[in-house]
A and B are shown apart, each in its own frame.
Chain A
């Protein structure tokens, strides 16, 4: 998985690409720290270029939510497609994290 961070006004958009799996533990740690460290009140993960996510990847998204909400920041997922959208739906992640099209 790769990511790029773009901050506009009060919204930080992180665009993920590739495959988000257990193997991305180090990158996710770095990403969560970057999201906590910037000033934007709303942190968005743009998943439109993400091709695949596994159960550990879902777990890491939930950790990001916990950490960011603990810092009083809004966290949401946007534009999931294909396998990623399907897994988010099956895991009923929408009950825990705001998911936008």
Chain B
């Protein structure tokens, strides 16, 4: 059981029985329905479990007090509970299938969430959004969908890239792979981790020159530190604020 007094659980399009079971197993109260809320204001953290909802309705999803968005997909209860526990510890969490993440603007939502908790200048904010966006697109495109970068600046390279993405995103074996984001604020800045379920990769310097291959260089230029973990399936970026 989690001994959290400040974190509550909320379901969007989740069957009430499963939601109740997860709340009991996770040791978290459910966020009361609007008419039943008492006291002054919202809880400190709301962990949202996402069932069947339109991804477009999840815009700006991490503004206070929302702290975690976990799409259930085909996750086991144990896997969901691990993510809930991480969120209850104070980390901002987003966990989506590839097909859902592809329809969200997660990088923008993350910087808006950080910006609602810390003051960031607009240029720094734009840079951090770009770094996070590049890490997420690498995780989705090259990680989970296993689509290679565009090779060369030709229409046929773009056609191939576009067709590969469309084909893979309509294949459930690729589309259901997870994208996991965690974001931990501290006194000096924020640490963001992006993890995928692809084949991983080894960074080769000569791979870094195509139109898509610039992402990692861009990230290194913006983040104070940047580490590839789990054989390239997880990137940890540190941004001083």
Contact = CB atoms under 8 A, between A and B. Distances in A.
Determine if chain A interacts with chain B.
yes
A62 B153 contact: yes
A29 B159 contact: yes
B211 to A, nearest CB: 2
Interface stretch (B30-38, B122-130, B199-207): B122-130
A55 B214 contact: yes
B116 interface: no
A101 to B, nearest CB: 19
Interface string A10-41: 00000000010111011011001000000000
Interface residues on B, range: 20 to 34
A83 B108 CA distance: 12
A55 B161 contact: no
B179 to A, nearest CB: 14
B164 to A, nearest CB: 9
Given A29-B162, A63-B211, A86-B126, A21 B154 contact: no
A66 B155 CA distance: 9
B168 interface: no
Interface in B188-241: 210-212, 214-215, 218, 221
Interface string B115-148: 0000000010011011001100100010000000
B152 to A, nearest CB: 9
A32 B155 contact: yes
A52 B129 contact: yes
Contact of B157 (A19, A63, A86, A87): A63
SS of A interface (majority): helix
A43 to B, nearest CB: 15
B162 A26 contact: yes
A55 B211 contact: yes
Contact of A21 (B127, B137, B218): B137
B150 interface: yes
Contacts of B123: 86
Contacts of B159: 29
A22 B158 contact: no
Contacts of A28: 158
Contacts of A87: 130
Contacts of B154: 63, 66-67
29 contacts: A21-B133, A21-B137, A23-B102, A25-B158, A25-B161, A25-B162, A26-B166, A29-B155, A52-B108, A52-B129, A52-B130, A54-B133, A55-B211, A55-B215, A56-B150, A56-B212, A58-B211, A59-B150, A59-B153, A59-B212, A63-B150, A63-B153, A63-B155, A63-B157, A66-B154, A67-B155, A83-B129, A86-B123, A91-B214
Interface of A: 19, 21-23, 25-26, 28-29, 32, 52, 54-56, 58-60, 62-63, 65-67, 82-83, 86-87, 90-91
Interface of B: 102, 105, 108, 123, 126-127, 129-130, 133-134, 137, 141, 150, 153-155, 157-159, 161-162, 165-166, 210-212, 214-215, 218, 221
Given A55-B212, A63-B150, 12 more contacts: A19-B105, A25-B161, A26-B162, A26-B166, A29-B155, A55-B211, A59-B210, A60-B211, A62-B211, A63-B154, A63-B211, A83-B126
